[in-house]
Amino acid sequence: MIFHTSVAAVLKVGKGMPYTTIKSAIQAAAEGDVIYVYPGLYQEQNIVIDKRIALKGIQFPTLDGEKKYEVLSIKAHGVLIEGLRVIRSGVSSIQDMGGIKVYDANHVTIQNNILEETFFGIYIQYGSQCNILRNRIFSSNKVEQQSGNGIHAWKSEKLEINGNLIQGHRDGIYLEFATLSNITENIAEGNLRYGLHFMFSHDNHYYANVFSNNGAGVAVMYSQRVEMRFNVFKDNWGDAAYGLLLKEMSDCKIENNHFAKNTVGIYLEGASRVSMKENTFELNGWAMKLMASCMDVDVTRCNFLSNTFDVGTNGSLVLNRFNNNYWDKYEGYDLDRNGEGDVPYRPVSLFSMVIEKNPPAMILIRSFMATLLDRTEKMIPTITPENLKDEFPMMKPLKL
């Protein structure tokens, strides 16, 4: 929504200005007007915007919810919120209070704001074509139950979530029944649970985001036609932590991503028709765990570098494909010098299957017995899944 300041009235809020409170300026404003809020501390309980206006801060004035109230409630289409510092919203798991919350409104833009110590940071409820751009959203809560999500969208569509920094919330970005949206160039780090978490959110695109050092990594579930490209998943460590968890996902593209230093780079369960191309898996515990419930997962032209285990699985039935990947553990040869190995590579080691069924066996990982098991299985494969292999592994790392 574009505000034409040449025809719109400009209202000023602050010490020595025509209006001393934001609420009084909103009440006086007409549709399309612009309200400038000058530096200062504004404690006005819950500020409700119920008309199409622009609310712009000068040098980040502070709107304080005093740990009691929702700070800004947007209940009109076409609202612009920019340049504000929003702090200390109330905490209520029943009302889901937000620093900035949008109710049943379209074409709302929330950009270049700072949100600190809010329960939910920015919350979109039944919104369409809303933009959440270049905001900085911080929280320091240590308990999940006392923290909401940094950016939260519920039953919304056609959202643009771009360039935000989210730290210290329960989930960095949470989407549920949010469709046809673009989530790009965000950084979600140090959040208590997931950097990104979405369910029942179809036809979304996730490009060039960074998800690092979150409690359990990234979890995506029960969604279709999702594209995730050029994202970084790193430093997500813990017993139940993943770079990326895909559960009951179908018709998805997971391409050109980088998975580094995660307990599990990517975990797939109940996934079908998934294209995984040109990803890099580096320094993970398991690069990939591919459960037997998956089918038509195509892993092509990926680099597997310095992972403790390349692939883990929990069954022998294999309905997935590995083609032309580079595996740094491959010890085959290339007599015709075409760049492809002449013998297949089986990425599932015998010891990884032992651990899958008996996790305490991990204590033996560096032992002679573990090495002997794997060497024996490579020579005479009998236990690892016969069909889970890369027929033509690459001899050199791929330039991705």
pLDDT beyond 60 at 396: yes
Give per-residue pLDDT as tens, 271-298. 999 999 999 999 999 999 999 899 999 9
pLDDT beyond 90 at 363: no
Give per-residue pLDDT as tens, 84-111. 999 999 998 788 999 999 999 999 999 9
Q: Is-above-0.95 flag for pTM?
A: no
Domains in the chain: ranges and CATH: 1-211 (2.160.20.10), 216-348+385-400 (no CATH)
DSSP string, 149-184: -SEEEEEEES-EEES-EEESSSEEEEEEEEES-EEE
Give per-residue pLDDT as tens, 180-209. 999 999 999 999 999 999 999 999 999 999
At 365, the pLDDT band (50, 70, 90 cuts) reads: low
Structure tokens at 255: 């391409």
Least confident of 1-5, 130-134, 147-151, 281-285: 1-5
Q: Report which of 200, 196, 260 is spatially closest to residue 228, judged by C-alpha positions.
A: 196
Structure tokens at 183: 């989530």
Q: Are 290 and 311 a contacting pair, CB within 8 Å?
A: yes
Q: Mean per-residue pLDDT for 225-245?
A: 95
As to burial, measured by CB atoms within 10 angstroms (0-12 exposed, 13-18 middle, 19+ buried), residue 4 is exposed
Q: Mean per-residue pLDDT for 328-348?
A: 91
Rg of the chain (C-alpha set): 25
In eight-state DSSP terms, residue 380 is: S
Beta-strand ranges (E) seen in 34-96 are 34-37, 41-42, 47-49, 54-57, 62-64, 72-74, 80-82, 85-87
